[in-house]
Structure 1
Amino acid sequence: MARPEKILKYCPSCGSGLFKPDSPKSFHCSSCGFKFFINSAAAVAAVIENDAGEILLTVRGVEPAIGALDLPGGFVDPMESGEEALKREVKEELNLDVSEMQYLISYPNEYIYNGYSVFTTDYGYACKVKNFDNIKVADDIADFQFFNPKEIDFNKISSNSIKKILKFYLSEKK
């Protein structure tokens, strides 16, 4: 039920019910001619290690995948760069200040929110933070924990894109 063609029934321009999919990624309104595209939203994820080489994972406090392990991060706001979004999200979620970041890789994802598929491109970054002195959970996370990379249970990770970002990061470290 989450796919756009199952949810979007009326033209956002004129309100007509003559708003139909005309490809797997677009809709067309026969009444006013409005064309609507389903595009990927940008999201960011931070891989952060402590001095012991453990990876910081958060526990999702909201759906989708409430209770699952995740990387700190979130959606890129309109007119915000990925790097700005990463710094903002890490600050909002954990009260940490990113001091360095390096782009890793991106993967597609389907984020189902309130019964609607939001297609994302999740950009992974390896990050360093100034320190962990004032770390605290906030925003949409319930908890955090540092994991030895060999002890991460990938079955408990929130999404395939986050699993892939983590696995890529760990493979690059070898």
Structure 2
Amino acid sequence: MHPKHHFKYCPSCSKPTIFFQNYGAFECEECHFQLFINASAAVAAFILNEEGELLMAKRKHDPQAGTLDLPGGFVEVMEPAEDAVKREIMEELNLEVTHLEYFGSFPNEYLYKGMTYHTLDLAFVCKVKTFEGMQVNDDVADAIFIRPEKIDLNDIGLDSIRRMVLQYQKSIK
């Protein structure tokens, strides 16, 4: 559900006078407090091995537990997206990113515990120092290498990741 279905009371004055406006914000009719609903930033990494296979993660948790995903995650407050990629790859796979290039941005709706979060997912093509010592941690249940052209898009759980992989597949043809 959209955030507008979750807010009933103003976070500032606590009165039931907050309403969602057409310009993407909640506004309180009583105290005029405004709360803007903006997209959260997330990152995803395309990492290839020496054989040209793409590293795909299997999601450990909902949403879409058990489906394929690219490694990555949410950008923390005041964190550059490039640092977020490096941090997430280290946290999830124990891999050190040595080089990265921006690939593109993909808006998404991320349903979590009954609320829809709007995200802007930023994709990067990354190189890692070595795959030795790779281990799955954090939000990753498993990690597998697949030839990019062999990836079944129906096995990918998140819409933005599906669109990223499709665009990547087209870019390498």
TM bin (shorter chain): over 0.9
Asked if the contact 2:106–2:160 (Cα under 8 Å) also holds between the matched residues in 1, the reply is: yes
Asked if the contact 2:153–2:166 (Cα under 8 Å) also holds between the matched residues in 1, the reply is: no
Q: Deviations over 1:13-38 (max 9, x none)?
A: 12211111121621110111101111
**Structure 1: how far apart are the matches of 2:85 and 2:15?**
39
* Count of aligned pairs: 173
For residue 166 of structure 1, report the CA deviation from its aligned partner.
Answer: 1.4
Asked if the contact 2:149–2:169 (Cα under 8 Å) also holds between the matched residues in 1, the reply is: no
Q: Is the partner of 1:23 in helix, strand or coil?
A: coil
**Structure 1: how far apart are the matches of 2:121 and 2:77?**
15
- Which residue does 1:143 correspond to in 2? 142
- Which residue does 2:50 correspond to in 1? 51
Q: Deviations over 1:92-137 (max 9, x none)?
A: 0000000110000101000111111110000000001001001001
TM-score by length of 1: 0.96
Q: Cα 1:156–1:24, aligned 2, differ >3 Å: closer, same or farther?
A: farther
Stretch moving more, 158-167 or 97-106: 158-167
Matches within 5 A, 1:1-80: 2-23=1-22, 25-80=24-79
- Which residue does 1:106 correspond to in 2? 105
- Which residue does 2:155 correspond to in 1? 156
After TM superposition, the runs of 4+ consecutive aligned structure 1 residues lying more than 2 A away are none
**Structure 1: runs of 5+ lacking an equivalent:** none
**Structure 2: how far apart are the matches of 1:90 and 1:22?**
38
**Residue identity opposite 1:120 in structure 2:** T
- Which residue does 2:126 correspond to in 1? 127
**Structure 2: how far apart are the matches of 1:95 and 1:16?**
47
For residue 170 of structure 1, report the CA deviation from its aligned partner.
Answer: 2.2
